[in-house]
Amino acid sequence: MAERKDEIQGSLHSGSESSASGRDNVSSERVEATLQPLPGTTGRTVVLRAEGLTKTYAAVAGTAGRGELELFRGLDLVVHAGEMVAIVGESGAGKSSLLHLLAALDRPTAGEVWCGTSRLSIFSAKEAADFRNRDVGYVWQFHYLLPEFTAVENVAMPLLARGMGHSSALERARTWLSEVGLAERAEHRSGELSGGEQQRVSLARALVTEPKILLADEPTGDLDGKTAEAVFGLIQGLHIAHGLTSVIVTHSLEFARRCGRMLRLKEGRLEEVRIEAEW
């Protein structure tokens, strides 16, 4: 671990560091207006598309093992540019597994996922990693920050991984920390940040590469009610301000209703849910 830390820190700190950013902080206050669904899809750019998606896990051998598990079969999904789509469903329905397929973190048993003109199933491991670094911003339920590095260093990691110079990477990272309201916490390590601040750092890290699509898997699931509200409001504000295309898995019907479109994953299929409908 010490060798790994020294190696990465050497990349981060060799040469001068540039401080960024004259951008105003994005408020974490609630965005009151629910996002409106996009009008008719004619002429709209399709950013993400799943066709006939099936995911099956093989049976586990042994008397105490489980049988074959099928999460979905023939699942279809289309997400257009600028949409904010919520996916809801019971625990164990496969929501996180679906996001993994959309991000090329896993492969479907059958069917296909496309991001723009990129067909994910033909990617090699390196091509999948490059795709995630280039086109996908991913926010997990847990922040997964590297504890030995500061907030700005954590945000800069995806840029350093793609070969950007350290000064430019740190400058852009500081800009995005300002976007999520953490300009003054840039030099703090994750253990010195609150849960909500850690998740805001992870959001800045997801967006620092300016991806085509933001995928968020229960981004408020580990937070208390007030902090969850602030973080979701921030996500919604950034979605609007930066014209993002976002797919968000959430257990919160309140948050899902504030997205432009709500889909329920049930019995292996996605079904449209009217925003005003009861869960």
Range from 11-15, 61-65, 66-70 that averages highest in pLDDT: 66-70
Query: Residue 154 above 90 pLDDT?
Result: yes
Residue 3: pLDDT over 80: no
Residue 118 CB: number of other CB atoms within 10 A? 15
The arithmetic mean of pLDDT across residues 72-77, rounded, is: 91
**Which strands sit side by side in the sheet containing 136-139, from one edge to the other?**
136-139, 213-217, 246-249, 84-88, 261-266, 269-273
Banded pLDDT at 62 (limits 50, 70, 90) = low
Q: In this structure, what token pair is assigned to residue 253? A: 């019907």
pLDDT band at 67 (very low <50, low <70, confident <90, very high): confident
Rounded CA-CA distance 88/25 in Å is: 30
* Predicted pLDDT at 25: 41
- Residue with the two structure tokens 């959430």: 250
Mean pLDDT of 77-92: 93
The region of weakest confidence among 24-28, 121-125, 208-212 is 24-28
* Per-residue pLDDT, 18: 38
Measured distance CA(270)–CA(88) in Å, rounded: 9
Fold of the domain built from segment(s) 82-102+132-273: Rossmann fold (3.40.50)
Span 45-72, average pLDDT: 82
pLDDT at 274 over 90: no
Q: Which long-range contacts (CB under 8 A, 24 or more apart) does 195-199 make?
A: 195/222, 195/223, 195/224, 195/227, 196/223, 196/227, 196/230, 196/231, 197/151, 198/143, 198/145, 199/139, 199/143, 199/223, 199/231
Look-up of token digits 């968020």? 216
Residue 7: predicted pLDDT: 52
Residue type, 137: G
Q: How confident is the model at residue 27, as a pLDDT?
A: 41
Q: What is the mean pLDDT of residues 92-109?
A: 92
Give the residues across from 138 on adjacent strands: 215
Tell how strand 246-249 and strand 213-217 pair up. parallel
* Percent with pLDDT over 70 in the chain: 80
Regarding beta strands 46-57 and 110-115, do their DSSP bridges make them parallel or antiparallel, or are they unpaired?
A: antiparallel
Answer whether residue 66 shows pLDDT above 60: yes
Q: How confident is the model at residue 204, as a pLDDT?
A: 96
How many Cβ atoms from other residues are within 10 Å of residue 163's Cβ?
Answer: 7
Confidence (pLDDT) at 97: 92
Chain segment 202-214, per-residue pLDDT in tens: 999 999 999 989 9
pLDDT > 60? residue 14: no
Cβ-based neighbours of 265, under 8 Å, separated by 6 or more: 72, 87, 88, 89, 93, 94, 95, 98
- Determine contact, residues 50/112, Cβ cutoff 8 Å: yes
DSSP string, 48-100: EEEEEEEEEEPPPPSTT----EEEEEEEEEEEETT-EEEEE--TTSSHHHHHH
Residue 139 CB contacts under 8 Å (≥ 6 apart), including other chains: 199, 202, 203, 206, 214, 215, 216, 217, 219, 235
On the question of pLDDT at 32 being above 70, the answer is no
Containing 156, the helix (H) or strand (E) segment is helix 151-161
Q: Is it the case that residue 198 has pLDDT exceeding 50?
A: yes
Dihedral class, residue 14 (left if φ above 0, else alpha if ψ from -120 to 50, else beta): beta
The β-bridge partners of 49 are 78, 114
Token pair 């997964």 in the structure block, residue: 144
